[in-house]
Amino acid sequence: NYTTDTKSRQENKKTLESLYSLSVDITKIRRLKEWVLHQDVAYVKEIAGILQEMGADETTVANIIERCPEAILHTPAEINSQRALWQLVCQNDKQLVKLIGQFPESFFTTDYHQNQKANILFFQELGLKNNIITRFLTSAPNIFYNPVEKNKNVIETLQRNYLNLGGSEANMKIWILKLLSQNPFILLNTSTAIQENLEFLQKNDFTDQEVLQLLSKLKGFIFQLNSTTMEKSMLFSKKVFKCSDQELKQLVLKCPALLYYSVPILEERLEGLLKEGISIAQIRETPMVLELTTQIVQYRIKKLSALGYDIKSGNLESLNGTKKDFEVSFGKIQSKRERPIFNPVAPLHIED
């Protein structure tokens, strides 16, 4: 046991020499995944050769190996297969090298090669553009690890429900593709979970049209929730805003975050707003402000206050929206505040 243990802690000299020859920073690998250096077999030169063949320079090759050391443990055959697979959606080798450089872990996960291939072909058949599929491969690689039948099942469940809720056959494809583009992680859910969440909304008197509206507004995030969480969040909002079931429904349609965020998150955000002197009545009037984190709200209030804008007496619309939305809103308020009281080019009427 002692001998095996000692042997397992010894670094492979051949691997080290090959890495040094490629100007790879060994200390980074030791810090990140030292176990890679202990393996008896590694394909350092071969993997570097494949990357160089695709157009990667020495610095890029070194960076890729430093970020994803286990790349050198894959056989050349595995990496060539992965290269051919990613070329199905990449415009050229230049784009592929760029993607590998940014997301090496996604590229060098070869255990699910067959599932990845089947899913890429399925997404192409579905009508997803290659640039969207490459985004999925890099930012949501887990969805490709599913058997293709599982992903097909989820898509079929979504299509069926879309039609059942009154969506048209003509718009269904656009709706599905938009939903997937916004949130590919819906494919990690089960068909049962999707069904249960939709039924929860219907039981809470949301009409079919309103459920469709919520699905579009929530960008599919509703499928990552469960009925228990949603119910708790709705009861919390009802209590805070002292509203009827119908009023609550309207608030949720206006601000789906009331459904999506858990009670602790809603509590924290409400508390942050109240500390700034904002009233419950103001929040009820503009509930979308709860979509923002407390830090963002504080930053925006500070910027508006510097212009002399009192958020406590005004409405909260100026706080809302994305960073870009806020900058536009802020710019308008700023120009209004800086505008001169009189028109300097207008003639002055002075009595004799």
Q: What is the pLDDT of residue 46?
A: 96
Widest distance between CA atoms in the chain? 111
Burial of 98 (0-12, 13-18, 19+ CB in 10 A): middle
Q: What integer pLDDT is reported at residue 3 of this predicted model?
A: 35
Predicted confidence band at 320 (pLDDT cuts at 50, 70, 90)?
confident
Query: What is the distance between the alpha carbons of residues 105 and 251, in angstroms, rounded to a whole number?
Result: 42
Helices marked H in 113-190: 113-126, 130-139, 148-164, 169-182
From 11-20, 79-88, 276-285, the region with the lowest mean pLDDT: 276-285
pLDDT at 334: 80
Residue 57 or residue 214, greater confidence:
57
**Dihedral sign (CA 293, 294, 297, 302):** negative
Nearest to 55 by CA among 102, 15, 91, 98: 98
Mean pLDDT of 98-111: 93
Mind listing the pLDDT tens digit for each residue in 127-152? 999 999 999 999 999 999 999 999 99
pLDDT digits (tens, 9 = 90+) for 35-84: 999 999 999 999 999 999 999 999 999 999 999 999 999 999 999 999 99
Tokens of 307: 């212009």
Measured N-to-C along each axis, helices 26-33 and 13-21 cross at an angle, to the nearest 10 degrees, of 130
Enumerate residues 6+ apart whose C-beta is below 8 A from 231: 200
Token pair, residue 160, equals: 């069926």
Domain boundaries, the chain: 11-110, 226-337
pLDDT at 33 over 90: yes
> What is the CATH architecture of 226-337?
Alpha Horseshoe (1.25)
